[in-house]
Structure 1
């Protein structure tokens, strides 16, 4: 059975800094904000008992809204 070994020169190549795609970053933030907003609207329609079944309360839903607002 033949065994091959690959060698890589790891010490002499400097890593290139990643280019930040700020447009994509902003787009992802908007998408996350919209998703949290949609989720909180749905959760607000549930009763206290329904939220308790999920292990949540209306205070948790308010916290979700506050977290979404911090994105911007």
Structure 2
């Protein structure tokens, strides 16, 4: 009888662990999205001279923006 309880508890613990992992992955993706958004806003606020100082052009900023949101699409929709 104790074996049945132990097996049941192991299954429940792994289900909880999977839910925590899924939640953690969602939070990490959200944090990465916020970080990318913050970086894109900073690049858009820069004028052309400031962008040239770091080796970028306005067109490069546009390409980075398009690439960043497409990276979050499912594989069937991404580039």
For the criterion TM > 0.5, the same-fold answer is yes
Unaligned 5+ residue runs, structure 1?
1-18
**TM-score of the aligned structures, taking structure 2 as reference length:** 0.57
Give the number of the structure with larger relative contact order, counting CA–CA contacts within 8 Å between residues 6 or more apart. Answer: 1
Unaligned 5+ residue runs, structure 2?
1-16, 74-79
> Which residue pairs with 2:60 in the alignment?
60
Which SS does the other structure have where 1:50 is aligned?
helix
**Distance in 2 between residues matched to 1:34 and 1:63, nearest whole Å:** 18
User: Between Structure 1 and Structure 2, which shows a larger proportion of helix residues?
Assistant: 2
Residue pair 1:36, 1:64 contacting (<8 A) in 2 also = no
**Distance in 2 between residues matched to 1:40 and 1:63, nearest whole Å:** 11
CA RMSD of aligned residues (A): 1.8
1:43: how far off? 0.9
Q: Any residues of structure 2 matched to 1:1-72 within 5 Å, and which? A: 21-70=21-70, 71-72=72-73
**Distance in 2 between residues matched to 1:45 and 1:59, nearest whole Å:** 14
Which SS does the other structure have where 1:41 is aligned?
helix
